[in-house]
Structure 1
């Protein structure tokens, strides 16, 4: 089996598992993940934060996005511009987000672009990951391309029940230094500190 086939199989397995998670678990784990993330010193010190907009069963990032804005930080979110391509765009009001590619909420076309090297801290999604930050995305390559250019602090948000320690990786797959689950913050695969 090729790495691509392994990835497709794991995505399917995790999505089936995710579909069976209770609404209560999704809500409680999402709330705990947001609380741990918002307590990270790296987040607190950041001036410009890049964050995905949670969609479907992903971690609901709205409380995080609201906190970024309330704290007076610069918030940028992804805007898809083509297959596997996204731009970082500043947003100052969540009401300006509207469904874009794949139905995911995106900033409007007239929103201000933000360069990758302006970002202090990035909050990234995954289908699954291991505790050491090796991620499996949705397969579009959007965040892999971002990670090839990004050199700041980054964290993955993943529910503990969706963590898998055997992530098929390829040379273009970049690990992320921190993982936040409802249990807390993992650094280098170890539960480092609790928010």
Structure 2
């Protein structure tokens, strides 16, 4: 199955999740993520702000704010290019491209370190830690520059047969679903 078909099928499955299941799954995924992070000394969390049909990232952002961990969120700065900017709370966000919440202009741009964790969005994932994003290549271009820990959050319905990877695709280090943590 090609990327467009996988993307479409996975989005439909994700959209069709019952709201009660989605809420319960979000909580399970958040708890698994906290267990994974508990054994790491992270200095910064780089994460997207989730859309309603994605795994909810707001609890992990709140967790990082409360723990004093630096939080950075992406903003599209040019066609196909994004950068991450430090935010101190949700008031530092505004609606940007694709109706995604992005940092307001004027905030400090920061780059991940070896002690950072990047939460990566996606539409479909496989057990080989591959992902299919939304089709713009923003994350693959960005992630290719760093050797930071990459974690994808997904519902089990987003797991598919092996994805045929392309040269520029960047694999995840972990994929966390409500059922399991997939790692190398």
What is the TM-score when the length of structure 2 is the normalising length? 0.93
- Match of 2:52? 56
- Deviation of the 1:132 alpha carbon: 2.5
**Quick check: 1:84 aligned with 2:83?**
no
* Match of residue 73 from structure 1: 69
Aligned residues: 184
Q: Which residue of the partner structure matches residue 16 of structure 1?
A: 12
Q: Is the contact between residue 10 and residue 157 of structure 2 (CA under 8 Å) also seen in structure 1?
A: no
Please report how far the alpha carbon of residue 165 of structure 1 lies from its aligned counterpart in structure 2 after TM superposition: 2.4
Q: Secondary structure at the match of 2:2?
A: helix
- Structure 1 unaligned regions, length at least 5: 189-195
**Do the aligned residues in 1 keep the contact of 2:14 with 2:54 (CA within 8 Å)?**
no
What is the CA distance between 1:112 and its match in structure 2? 0.8
Compare 76-85 and 59-68 and name the one that shifted more: 76-85
Specify the SS of the correspondent of 2:143.
helix
Alpha-carbon offset, residue 52 of structure 1: 1.1
Runs of 4+ in 1 over 4 A off after TM superposition: none
Q: Which aligned pairs between 1:3-152 and structure 2 lie closer than 5 A?
A: 6-41=2-37, 44-117=40-113, 120-152=116-148
Conservation of the 8 A alpha-carbon contact between 1:43 and 1:121:
no
Query: Which SS does the other structure have where 2:45 is aligned?
Result: strand
**Structure 2 stretches of 5 or more lacking a match?**
none
Q: Give me the whole-angstrom Cα distance separating, in 1, the residues matched to 2:38 and 2:4.
A: 33
